[in-house]
Amino acid sequence: MEKILDRFLRYVAVDTQSCEESESQPSSAKQLTLLAMLRDELCALGVEATLDENGYVMGRIPANTGKPVPKLGFIAHVDTSPDASGADIKPQIIEDYDGGDIALKGVPGLYLRPSEFPEMLAHKGKTLITTDGTTLLGADDKAGVAEIMNAVQYIMAHPEFKHGEIRIGFTPDEEIGRGVVKFDVKKFDADYAYTIDGGDLGELEFENFNAAAATIRIQGRNVHPGYAKGKMKNAMRIAIELNGLLPVEQKPEYTEGYEGFFHLIGFNGTVEEATISYIIRDHDMDLYEHKKAVMQECVDFINRKYGEGTAVATIRHQYYNMRKEVEPHYHVVEKAVKAMEMEGIKPKIQPIRGGTDGANLSFMGLPCPNIFAGGLNFHGKMEFVPLESMEAASKVILNIISLYAG
């Protein structure tokens, strides 16, 4: 029986960073390395498993209850965020965390500090897995992958554990909003599913942002600076001006709870041309549509000021709030609540300030709330995950299965 820590460390050692600029499926071929590993590991455990041409691993475990039980799916994504490197990850393992600052030894002078991340103190005395400061960790969502695989290992090693039909899914490209664009829900053949892709211990989510991505291309005019008066249009300055037109209070660093935002995620340019990229988020559909309209109004203003065609916006929808698709099947949330309480965990039902594969899956006919994977500070070098939270998430999976089987 492989320990969940060893399994997790094995998975984060594989670089699986997705690429938003790529048009392939998966967006980066290196994701297939881990996906093939997972298929092979499932097969080695005795699970019927496949990996298709689109990068989806699907596994099936037959029921052993002898009575009708809903078919349950458990899903996690293998890719890591483009926001930070996922290559050559060097995890640090801090046993019996004492509540102090943690040196991220790959970058001299860099620390993970409770004064900046007070949630660390809730895990005092636990084993923390951190980065070394040079990369992200990959707990989003390789912690979820490891937790599902750990549960599968237990099920296959304990035939006395009663369960209905179980489906396992591993997906690519979740971090760039394309995780289940070609996912065959009918082939997966589950009645209900859970993504194991949430944050801190106890988090349980069945509503998320409505989401769009915006790319704005600015066409400038480069003239020798000594003779530029009345002629030059500096694309970078125009891009900065456009960004300044957006509501200051609607940036991620000033919002929380149900508040949406415009998030500048990319800026590339020269005097001649520039490109700025955003993600747009809001839980409320009307406010979501309004935000997209505000973005277009800012582009229109720039074109009126500097000439038509100076700014061109491409606004692409990514996913919708899954609440209205999950709420009619609220028992999936209630079962998750009970499964956590069985482990002495206080459930924290809250909106996702992001998205999961479960959002799109819910709209594809597979109600799919999201359960904690245990990690914190995703997408950057301050990411960490408590080992005990990973172990708890795996037990919650087994509890959900037992509750439905019972």
How much is the pLDDT for 169?
Answer: 98
CA neighbor of 59 nearest in space, from 195, 145, 167, 144: 167
How much is the pLDDT for 352?
Answer: 84
- The burial class, CB within 10 Å (0-12 / 13-18 / 19+), for 334 is exposed
Structure tokens at 79: 């890719």
> Among 46-55, 167-176, 259-268, 348-357, which is the least confidently predicted range?
348-357
pLDDT of 299 strictly over 80: yes
- Express each pLDDT in 21-79 by its tens digit: 899 999 999 999 999 999 999 999 999 999 999 999 999 999 999 899 999 999 999 99
The DSSP result for 69-88, as a single string, is: ---EEEEEE--B-TTS--SS
Give 356's pLDDT tier (boundaries 50, 70, 90): confident
The hierarchical CATH code for the domain 4-208+321-405 is 3.40.630.10
Contact 207, 283 (CB under 8 A): yes
Strands (E), 259-399: 261-269, 273-282, 311-319, 348-349, 370-372, 384-386
Structure tokens at 111: 């620390």
- The model's pTM is 0.87
Interior/surface letters 221-239, b for 16+ CB within 10 angstroms, e for the rest:
beeeeeeeeeebbbbbebb
CA distances from 122 to 136, 208, 386 (A): 21, 25, 10
Residue 5's Cβ-side half-sphere holds a number of Cα atoms within 13 Å equal to 14
Average pLDDT over residues 333-357: 93
Give 319's pLDDT tier (boundaries 50, 70, 90): confident
How much is the pLDDT for 313?
Answer: 97
CA distances from 251 to 114, 177, 291 (A): 24, 20, 12
Topology of 213-319 in CATH? Alpha-Beta Plaits (3.30.70)
How much is the pLDDT for 177?
Answer: 82
Give 243's pLDDT tier (boundaries 50, 70, 90): very high
One-letter identity of residue 325: E
- Express each pLDDT in 67-76 by its tens digit: 999 999 999 9
Structure tokens at 295: 């973005």
- How far apart CA 220 and CA 235 sit, in angstroms, is 4
Q: Where in the sequence numbering do the catalytic residues fall?
A: 79, 174
pLDDT of 318 strictly over 90: no
Interior/surface letters 242-260, b for 16+ CB within 10 angstroms, e for the rest:
beeebeeebeeeebeeebb
Average pLDDT over residues 91-118: 97
What percent of the chain is predicted at pLDDT more than 90? 94
Domain ranges in the chain are 4-208+321-405, 213-319
